[in-house]
Structure 1
Amino acid sequence: MTSSVETGRTAVLIDFRGVVTTSVLSAFRSIGAEVGDAELPLTLLSRDEASRTLLSDYECGRICTDAFEECFARRRRVHGAQVEADGLAARMQANLARDEETIELLDGLRSAGVPVALVSNAFGRDTYAGFDLGALADVVIISSEVGIRKPSRRIYRIACDRLGIEPESAVMVDDLQQNLDGAARLGIAGVLHSDGAGTARELHDRFGLPALRR
């Protein structure tokens, strides 16, 4: 009988917001709901060209937090949402919390000798507050530090190079399909994250990587 396990995957690349933390989409909806339109922040960041450019520039470190806040608040006002610019980026992340199940998974993977790279699109100076990134991963790639953001193939290549592996040896865990699609262009397998337990099962069942310890 042929095994269903996809062999040859020996390393994990993992997203931060929405994977190591609770859902970014829920957090953005919460900040939208405060001014009466839960979907507006997500709609603008995914469909409004000016807002999409702002997000790209911010995550790549080309503009500072103050500039992003002022410009994104203005885009929201254009669409009928009266918001204060000051502290907007922090408010957009205020409802994010640690996902202890995923953190336990990362600890288990590394304890079992599986190299892990954190590959994250930054969202300002407070994105990683309260986290010891070095305790989460062997390699940390932050978009604002390398000037490249997911889903560009280049950021995944940097992560693989720093881990000393080929892309075909890696699995990418992310909560956004577009980021997995970008990684797939290099031959990196993908796991669409919804919760730590589900991701742990898929890493184990599909790739033969260590299961979440209980």
Structure 2
Amino acid sequence: MAAERPRALLLDYAGVLTVPIGEALAAVCDAEGIDPDSVRALIAAAYTGHPDGADIAALETGRMPLAEFEAAFASRLRSRPGAPPPVADGLVGRMFAVLPPNPRMAAAARRLRAAGVRTALLTNTWGGAEGHDTAELAELFDVLVLSHEVGLRKPDPDIYALAAERLGVPAGTCVVVDDLITNVIGAQEAGMRAVLHQDDATTIAELEELFGVPATAR
């Protein structure tokens, strides 16, 4: 007996609907004079339960104000030799400003939604400072689940369950696309299918196979 087709698609934002995080991180570190390894270490800590990642986890769940986070985050970053210390005010906004959108994944989401697939943006947000294009998001998604608004963050299985509930579909009929393996595992623990996003072509091909509908122009 063939497996039931999924009914809903849950997409991450940074790294899926934007260029890869690594590219953006390199650009912002160059512009700000920051040692990129210090940024990577803090972000990694937020997904391993290390105390150094506690501020990011608090920001993403709405428990720390953005300005307070920026001050704490900037104080933990290392500057490159000869560069001044990072300027805390507006730092998060400047980081996300160098994340250009990924039109191929946006087009795929738009086509799947037009084919009747329920869609959600499920993303860990940094205090709402990402500068999302709300008009485009309204075209792409039936539901927005933003971590700082709901008080939950990936990879907690509860945030995936909340997204399924808001979409009105069982968790087992959802497919999650994320660029972090920890978040893919969280989705699977919530009973969902998951795709680890590494490049557009592979992800889109997997989505077409799963949903049985084209996600690109023919």
Same structural fold, with TM-score higher than 0.5 when normalized by the shorter chain: yes
How many residue pairs match? The answer is: 211
- Aligned partner of 2:95 in structure 1 is 92
- Aligned partner of 1:126 in structure 2 is 129
Q: Is the 8 A contact 2:118 2:167 kept in 1?
A: yes
Q: TM-score, normalised by structure 2?
A: 0.87
**2:25 aligns with one of 28, 31, 52:** 28
SS of the equivalent of 1:69 reads helix
What is the CA deviation profile of residues 112-139 of structure 1, one whole-angstrom value per residue up to 9, with x for unaligned ones?
0011111011113331433422211011
Structure 1 residue 197, shift from structure 2 partner = 2.9
Specify the code of the residue in structure 2 equivalent to 1:44. Answer: L
What is the CA deviation profile of residues 37-78 of structure 1, one whole-angstrom value per residue up to 9, with x for unaligned ones?
222201122138444111111111111111111000111159
- Aligned partner of 2:65 in structure 1 is 64
CA distance in 2, matches of 1:43, 1:21: 21
CA distance in 2, matches of 1:66, 1:57: 13
SS of the equivalent of 1:171 reads strand
- Aligned partner of 2:166 in structure 1 is 162
Residues 122-201 of structure 1 aligned to structure 2 (within 5 Å): 122-132=125-135, 133-201=137-205
Q: Is the 8 A contact 1:105 1:212 kept in 2?
A: yes
Q: Is the 8 A contact 2:35 2:78 kept in 1?
A: no
Q: Is the 8 A contact 2:96 2:131 kept in 1?
A: no
- Aligned partner of 1:101 in structure 2 is 104
Percent identity over paired residues: 36
CA distance in 2, matches of 1:14, 1:198: 15
SS of the equivalent of 2:13 reads coil
CA distance in 2, matches of 1:170, 1:209: 15
What stretches of structure 2 of length at least 5 have no aligned partner? none
Q: Is the 8 A contact 1:51 1:72 kept in 2?
A: no
Q: CA RMSD in A?
A: 2.3
- Aligned partner of 1:74 in structure 2 is 75
Moved more, 45-54 or 153-162: 45-54
What is the CA deviation profile of residues 87-116 of structure 1, one whole-angstrom value per residue up to 9, with x for unaligned ones?
111122121011111111111001100111
Structure 1 residue 158, shift from structure 2 partner = 0.6
CA distance in 2, matches of 1:47, 1:154: 21
CA distance in 2, matches of 1:158, 1:193: 22
Q: Is the 8 A contact 2:158 2:190 kept in 1?
A: no
What is the CA deviation profile of residues 117-167 of structure 1, one whole-angstrom value per residue up to 9, with x for unaligned ones?
110111133314334222110111010110000111111001101111111
CA distance in 2, matches of 1:179, 1:45: 13
Residue 113, structure 1, aligned to residue 116, structure 2: yes
Moved more, 192-201 or 135-144: 192-201
Residue 12, structure 1, aligned to residue 9, structure 2: yes
Q: Is the 8 A contact 1:183 1:190 kept in 2?
A: yes
